[in-house]
Structure 1
Amino acid sequence: MGWVLLDDRGGRHRVGLYHGDESGHLMIHCNLRVVQVDFSVKESKTYSFFIEDELCEVHLVKGPDGKFGYDFIVNKTVDTPRNRIRRVDERRIRRQMAWMIAGFVAVVTAVVIGFRWFDRWHERQMLTQNSLFSSLSEENVRRLSLEGKKDTAQLFIVREALQRKVLYGFVTTENAQISGSFQVADTGQILLPNGFPLSDRDAFLVTYLPSDPKVHRLDFYQPTRSTIATYVRMASDMERRNHPDISEKRSICCALSAAELKGWQSLADFIFQTTSPEENDRHNRDSYLRLVRDVDYSRTVKEVCWEQ
């Protein structure tokens, strides 16, 4: 099942849907990137995600005969930044047509340009902050557990002055933008504490003090659903690469079954299935073999992935 979205800039975005007939496992991808993953979806449901700045929805509707119908729409009514801009533009056009005052249009344009310039300047100022694990102490750990607010921090891999580093950032409830960075090796994969290789734009839960957001903790063991979807894609790609005789759908089903049965961290065993224990003592070919030979996992794959 697939659709094509044409955005306001003339770009084409291909959206696809995989929904297992027996297992109910579901994956939504856009431009060959996984954006949503869910397990055992056997009732009507709606999934929302952004393409560029448009809020898109995929609707699953279960009919009386048990068969599913699928629909893809762009939600232009819910309150999003893009829809707010759309409504502002519509009101501005109506005002221009009603009043026909060129001076008013010039003032509005100047104000919009001024606000955009200020937003860009403010963002640059916030990005200069480097506060990864800054000011952490026993007292701050206690305060984080009692007073901490939660948000999502997104990570970006950059290279500055021939050195590679990872930048991250999040936004507080007071709309303050907090950012930080940490150094990594200049070559090779960047392995996170959760055992997975870092991909650009991975995101994780961050807990911060509302009174001083520079005191915060980034939890690599609580990835977002989109990051888990990236792990599923990497796991299924590696499974297909090392077992070219299986189909793409079966490789996805195998990865999803492992995540559902053993937890999302088991996906790292798929990703590092050709790695020796000397190279990676947590996830390697031995841990992969233990996983795929597990009685419960083997039975699950046989039951839900056989038709793939």
Structure 2
Amino acid sequence: MMSSGLSRRTFSGALLTGLAAPALARAADAPADAVRDAIRHLDQLHTLQVQRGDAVVVAQVRRGPGLARPANIKSCSKSLVALLLGTAIARGEIGDVHARLADVAPRLIPGDATAGVGDLTMEDLVTLRAGLARTSGPGYGGFVSASNWVSYVLTRPMEDQPGGRMLYSTGTTHVLGAVLATVTGKSLLTLARERLAPAVGETFGPWTQDPQGFYLGGNDMALTPRAMLRLAVLMRDGGRHDGRELLPADWLKASLTPRTQSPYSGLSYGYGWFLSPSGYVIARGYGGQIIAAHAERRIAVAITSDTGRPARSEGYFGDLMQLLDGPVLELA
């Protein structure tokens, strides 16, 4: 017999609510399920994490060593070096983004440097508009086999005027990293540990160094996928971490202003970060390594992939952009 404290109407309502709860949960999980379904055919994908607000709503490990072991983030390193440039300007170690190489780090310029390299600005370097012949792609082997990587870059012929079109080049960012090490008196590794590690929750491990001891500015940095996600959250949250400003807000604002355009993906490019029409700010590395943030939708994303296979804009990287612009944004 039903107790006097629980009427038939109340009982029925409780029963219906209980029956509805699984359905409501399934409805809430549907967008995340759509993301999982969308990655089933991506055979290069290793890990995918999506954070919405404070909650990680997708954490998928398809292949590779998992979320807690370091992955080579490849050219995502360029975006992190750009953040370190912002900290150096904020601390007065470099005057501003228009400071010239000849004024900031003259000893890096070799005697046989290409005419005009002394006038290259930090903005030319961080936007990959130095004008010098590329040291990525077919030019990468000559770059990393040189006895002095910085000198090698600065003796390449000019293919465009400085500040002109984007010439994607790892060597350009390597020069920027060498500038940062020179003006601060600290290695790029030390700068990353001091200025970025508080946000990622773990230290940075050593990576490739050139013959002069400069850490490679534009490639081969290693982070765990979980640390990559925390960096995405830092970008999403305007450089704030645990209630304090870890990265200069004015630098981030300037970073997200389009300065040039990738000739490959068509994406705009700011100070070291790609900018999508849908509102993402993206660090992109060879093979499909991605750190992405969408401030308006409160979304942060980290993706790792097979570093031994390319991720072209019309291929796998294009697939990843469809994932970001489609099922991932629908999570917001």
Q: TM-score, normalised by structure 1?
A: 0.25
Higher-helix-fraction structure: 2
Q: TM-score, normalised by structure 2?
A: 0.24
Which of the pair has the greater relative contact order for Cα pairs under 8 Å at 6+ separation?
2
Higher-strand-fraction structure: 1
